[in-house]
Chains A and B, each alone.
Chain A
């Protein structure tokens, strides 16, 4: 493997993790707002 691909191979994972943080954060935020609006406990 070339140096470029090895570098990409190491650094691609934090980028994917960042994407997961975005998806989870957005969903959690929506759930908190919905629970507040409907006046029910979050869990």
Chain B
């Protein structure tokens, strides 16, 4: 271990190579135990719909904890003070919690589905399916790019290797172990990676805390915080970090195929247990890591090169010895790999089921072997695209917040489609497009929001608050309670929000998207006389692969076949 130019400690070349070979080599070996010569196409996408609690909860936790979320939580702690990590991690955790009641309904309606968009195809038709599938792919591509950037930045900061060398090594490692068995490899390796990830968090946070000065830090560093930063109920933290994330809770959950895939994979009676455990695991981990940002604030450490993404590696390189710095490297690599492999599986499933299975192959004639080939090609192309975008070092978190708000336009039409028989394909498509048309000018300030336009945006935002909280309540308590919650939220927020909310473009843009898509969808459907029979979805969605040689029960693993 040697200090670099900035006085931070680095790991030696061979140490980094050894750790990465050990990590990716071990992960690849693990997938040999489950890999089959004839993979099943449905297993490649959902692992047979009966994954147990330990594997699915571990996988959901590891998938939702990604390297960028660790960096963002620490940035939030550094920027907004002691409440910052809560306003990042708590709402991120609730994204997992609030989707499970809807997940139970989706599984009941379509037990054999592979993607959420596939169910939309059975419910409505092509346009709503491809709209949802397209937004899922964009989200996963941004996510995988973000993880590559986080990995490259980490390698370039903690080792003599360059950013490009770092992303190539990680991209290659992730693709190698995910390619053959798809989602089955992803979910199993996640369940093991989660122990490396969580175990490192348990060790690193207390060690850095005491190395940085322990409780005395809160006395000596208190003067470095502004009154807002030292306030646990900071309004600045809530309005800039917390509120946009609360608005995005359902949007991320609906817009992310990695969650949907686990909803379809886990045994149906274990959905609640799995998602509640993952909520606690994600929340505690991300809030805990965010404390590194709070510690940096108290210790008076400024992010290297002014880039807050350097904050966590910087804290590690400042306060950890060589062994724990290696543990830290594995923690970040586990976080980014477990999410990136899930994104690869998500994108391959969408192209397999939604593009090929539903739109290219003739009805009932999808070839499972072709499907698997398409899935693997998708993974290779997605990895290449992720590496290409990562080399441009775009501001990914801004992009992700933008896409999260876009997903907000989809939330009501998607959820309503699973419960309300009157929703039509036309209403779904039009409501999403109109919501996007209203969202963009508000989000990017294309129109002046002073005067009447500002009031209109504020009124729509207040309706958006009612929609968000109403939908959250609906999942757990049903329609009657949801209507009461929505009405109370609108009446309570209106006096405070109307007149100033349009000053917060990210938040109001997102809320406008929710409100407009809900209003348009509702008014286009409520007089609709036609009723949809939800039982028909089960008949339209089933397994693609019924080949005898690809039967999961009847074939041994690659290692057994070799032996």
Residues of A that sit less than 8 Å from B by CB: 1, 3-4, 6-7, 9-11, 13-14, 16-21, 23-31, 34, 40-43
Within 8 A of A (CB), among B64-88: 82
- Complex CA–CA separation, A11 to B53 (angstroms): 28
Contact (A41, B188) CB under 8 Å given A10-B209, A16-B280, A21-B199: no
* Segment from B288-296, B306-314, B480-488 that makes contact with A: B288-296
Q: Which residue of A lies closest to B288 (CB)?
A: A13
Q: B3 an interface residue at 8 Å Cβ cutoff?
A: no
* Segment from B190-198, B360-368, B449-457, B536-544 that makes contact with A: B190-198
Residues of B that sit less than 8 Å from A by CB: 34, 47-48, 51-55, 57-58, 61, 82, 184, 187-188, 191, 194-195, 198-199, 201-203, 205-206, 209, 214-215, 218-219, 230, 232, 277, 280-281, 284-285, 287-288, 291, 294-295, 552-553, 557
B209 touches A17 (CB 8 A): no
Residues of B within 8 A of A20 (CB): 61, 198, 277, 280-281, 284
A43 touches B47 (CB 8 A): yes
B215 touches A7 (CB 8 A): yes
Contact of B552 among A6, A23, A41 (CB under 8 A): A41
- Complex CA–CA separation, A39 to B194 (angstroms): 26
Contact of A42 among B34, B198, B281 (CB under 8 A): B34
Residues of A within 8 A of B61 (CB): 20, 24
Q: Dominant SS at the B interface? A: helix
Contact (A23, B205) CB under 8 Å given A13-B285, A31-B54, A40-B553: no
- Complex CA–CA separation, A7 to B557 (angstroms): 49
Q: Dominant SS at the A interface? A: helix
- Complex CA–CA separation, A27 to B553 (angstroms): 22
- Complex CA–CA separation, A16 to B195 (angstroms): 14
Residues of A within 8 A of B215 (CB): 3-4, 6-7
Contact of B277 among A9, A24, A30, A42 (CB under 8 A): A24
A43 touches B184 (CB 8 A): yes
Contact of B218 among A3, A11, A13, A34 (CB under 8 A): A3
Chain A's nearest CB lies how many Å from the CB of B425?
A: 36
